[in-house]
């Protein structure tokens, strides 16, 4: 494989040689936190480690190299990571040669990288989101020079050609762009992943083709705001065009994409989805709040009216398309009236799935400085109210699927009462279970829905 020139050949060969001379190769363990983008990055980290001749370990205790790929989006995620890093101290005491690395969004936050090395002196490497390609060099320096690595650097470059170790199963995540330019006032992404930059379409198409050849059945195109894909590229391309190119590829696969920003979703994109059966009928469209005042303070650049207009268009152009969204509860300054507008909008749209979050202040963001913090007790009460509402709507949306036919892609099975039960998602992203055989894992199966539970459907093979 041709590796990006910044990816040190010398370092790769050194670790390869080391692994050849040992009775057993160095074993690695990568733990991912947070969003799909992080999981996609972890597949590249694992790809590089395999290229160096290392082998995947079943757990942290039998590893020689441990990498935590962290998430900085929520405060609770930070706390969890710190707890998990702390727990590695005992392992390091038993195995002095153990190499521990921490990377990902969290370490790009101001003061965090330094703080990790100070608080956990046994950590060997702390490196930023754009420096994954340098992992071989970092490991080389830790082994040969006993160096402590502390390197975070946001830049606008994209490093193509890194090897990828895909996760087991039929789903393949392919980043189409990195970073974000939107600066929503609560979000750290533009600060920890840098400004928005798109991959050249030919690199994306090559990766999709490779995934299809590896028998991947679901291609998940990833970006913080896929709807603005293509900005800054020389070629005349946008997300709708890219999606069309992917949909035209030959093979038995389907396509999903994450995440759409309501302000950038175009009619052209809806047309492309409507005319291509390979593109799943499910759109995740983060709303965040149903109040114009709160949306303005969040710097979301759309109003509830515009959002509802877009939903109407989706419903008209893509009948049967399921919808999901994200909501933040307790944004600074949010009043009961604002919250009620969110509830009202949710009742109107009827999302099949809703991801609900309590507002958490992130360092360095504009919302960190906003006054009028909603008391925690109130936030939690509103949150419970929202969860209750969505449980009812979600259950209704699940019931509505009874009698419908679905194309399900089972990604695993379980044994239940002596029977094999396949589990997977349908086109509209509902979780579907049905009785079948082990050989049906990773194979599209047509199923008729006979029962609905609160969060899943039960069906029979047609």
The residue ranges that bind ligand SF4 (CB under 6 A) are 180, 182-184, 187, 189-190, 224-225, 261
State in angstroms the smallest separation of the CB of 353 from ligand SF4.
18
* Inter-residue contact 106 to 88 (CB < 8 Å): no
d(C-alpha 257, C-alpha 243), whole Å = 9
The answer to whether the CB of 50 falls within 8 A of the CB of 81 is no
Shortest distance in whole angstroms from residue 288 CB to ligand SF4:
8
Choose between 138 and 302: whose C-beta lies nearer to ligand SF4: 302
Residue 419: Cβ within 10 Å count? 10
Q: How far is the CB of 124 from ligand SF4 (least distance, A)?
A: 30
Helix (H) or strand (E) holding 136: helix 135-145
Shortest distance in whole angstroms from residue 176 CB to ligand SF4? 14
Number of Cβ atoms within 10 Å of the Cβ of 59: 8
Closest contact distance (angstroms) between CB of 289 and ligand SF4 is 12
Q: What is the dihedral of CA 223, 227, 232, 235, to 10 degrees?
A: 110
Q: What are phi and psi of 286, to 5 degrees?
A: -60, 125
Residue 219 CB partners (closer than 8 Å, separation 6+): 172, 174, 208, 211, 212, 246, 253, 254, 255, 256
Give me the least distance between CB of 77 and ligand SF4, in Å please. 15
Least distance between ligand SF4 and beta carbon 110 (Å) = 17
The 3-state DSSP composition of the chain as helix, strand, coil percent (nearest 5) reads 40, 20, 40
Closer to ligand SF4 by Cβ: residue 187 or 311: 187
Closest approach, Cβ 179 to ligand SF4, in A, equals: 8
CA distance 199 to 178: 8
Distance CA 361, CA 109 (A): 13
Which of 7, 188 has the CB closer to ligand SF4? 188
Other C-beta atoms closer than 10 Å to the C-beta of 17 total 12
CB closer to ligand SF4 out of 26 and 295: 295
CA of 232: how far to CAs of 73, 116, 199, 235, 438, in Å?
Answer: 26, 35, 10, 9, 46
CB of 374 to ligand SF4, least distance (A): 19
Nearer Cβ to ligand SF4 (170/223)? 223
Minimal distance, residue 224 CB to ligand SF4, in Å: 4
Residues with Cβ within 8 Å of residue 79, at least 6 apart in sequence: none
Nearer to ligand SF4, 263 or 451 (CB): 263
- Residue 263 or 448: the one with the smaller Cβ distance to ligand SF4 is 263
Burial degree of 235 (CB within 10 A; 0-12, 13-18, 19+) = exposed
Q: How are beta strands 177-178 and 171-175 bridged, if at all?
A: unpaired
Question: Phi and psi dihedrals of 99, rounded to 5?
Answer: -105, 125
Chain centroid to Cα 327, Å, comes to 17
With respect to ligand SF4, which residue has the nearer C-beta, 288 or 401? 288
If the CB atoms of residues 122 and 357 are measured against ligand SF4, the closer one turns out to be 357
Closer by beta carbon to ligand SF4, 281 or else 300: 300
Q: Where are the alpha helices (DSSP H) in 239-375?
A: 239-247, 267-275, 292-297, 304-317, 336-349
d(CA 296, CA 303): 8
Alpha-carbon distances, residue 175 vs 16, 178, 240 (angstroms): 28, 7, 16
The least distance separating ligand SF4 from the CB of residue 276, rounded to whole angstroms, comes to 25
| Angle between helix 239-247 and 201-213 (nearest 10) | 30
Instruction: Decide whether 124 or 173 has the Cβ nearer to ligand SF4.
Output: 173
We find the least distance from the C-beta atom of residue 190 to ligand SF4, in angstroms, to be 5
Q: State which residue, 34 or 424, has the beta carbon closest to ligand SF4.
A: 34
């Amino acid at each position: 494989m041709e590796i990006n020139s910044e990816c040190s050949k010398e370092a790769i060969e050194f670790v390869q040689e080391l692994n050849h001379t040992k009775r057993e190769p160095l074993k690695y363990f990568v733990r991912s936190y947070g969003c799909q983008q992080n999981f996609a990055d972890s597949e590249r980290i694992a790809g590089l480690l395999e290229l160096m001749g290392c082998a995947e370990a079943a757990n942290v205790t039998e590893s020689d190299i441990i990498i935590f790929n962290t998430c900085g989006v929520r405060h609770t995620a930070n706390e969890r990571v710190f707890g998990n890093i702390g727990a590695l101290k005992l392992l390091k005491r038993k195995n002095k040669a153990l190499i521990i690395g921490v990377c990902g969004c969290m370490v790009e936050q101001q003061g965090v990288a330094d703080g990790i090395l100070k608080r956990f002196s046994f950590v060997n490497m702390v490196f930023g989101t754009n420096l994954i390609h340098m992992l071989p060099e970092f490991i080389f320096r830790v082994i040969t020079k006993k160096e402590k690595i502390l390197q975070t650097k946001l830049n606008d470059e994209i490093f193509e050609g890194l090897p990828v170790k895909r996760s087991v199963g039929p789903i393949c995540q392919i980043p189409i762009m990195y970073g974000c330019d939107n600066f929503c006032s609560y979000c750290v992404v533009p600060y920890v992943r840098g400004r928005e930059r798109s991959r050249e379409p030919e690199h994306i198409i090559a990766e999709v083709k490779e995934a299809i050849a590896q028998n991947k059945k679901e291609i998940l195109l990833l970006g913080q705001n896929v709807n603005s894909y293509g900005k800054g590229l020389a070629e005349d391309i946008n997300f709708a065009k890219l999606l069309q190119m992917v949909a035209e590829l030959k093979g038995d696969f389907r396509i999903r994409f994450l995440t759409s920003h309501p302000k950038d979703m175009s009619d052209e994109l809806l047309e492309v989805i409507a005319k291509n059966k390979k593109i799943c009928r499910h759109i995740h469209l983060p709303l965040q709040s149903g109040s114009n005042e709160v949306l303005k303070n969040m710097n979301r650049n759309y109003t509830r009216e515009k959002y509802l207009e877009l939903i109407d268009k989706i419903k008209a152009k893509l009948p049967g398309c399921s919808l999901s969204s994200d909501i933040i509860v307790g944004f600074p300054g949010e009043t009961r009236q604002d919250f009620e507008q969110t509830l009202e909008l949710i009742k109107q749209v009827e999302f099949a799935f809703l991801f609900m979050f309590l507002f958490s202040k992130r360092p360095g963001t504009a919302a960190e400085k906003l006054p009028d913090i909603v008391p925690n007790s109130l936030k939690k009460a509103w949150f419970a109210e929202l969860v209750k509402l969505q449980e009812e709507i979600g259950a209704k949306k699940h019931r509505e699927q009874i009698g419908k036919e679905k194309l399900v892609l089972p990604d695993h099975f379980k044994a239940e009462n002596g029977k094999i039960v396949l589990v997977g998602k349908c086109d509209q992203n509902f979780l579907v279970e049905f009785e079948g055989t082990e050989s049906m894992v990773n194979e599209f199966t047509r199923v008729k829905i006979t029962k609905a539970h609160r969060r899943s459907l039960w069906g029979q093979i047609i």
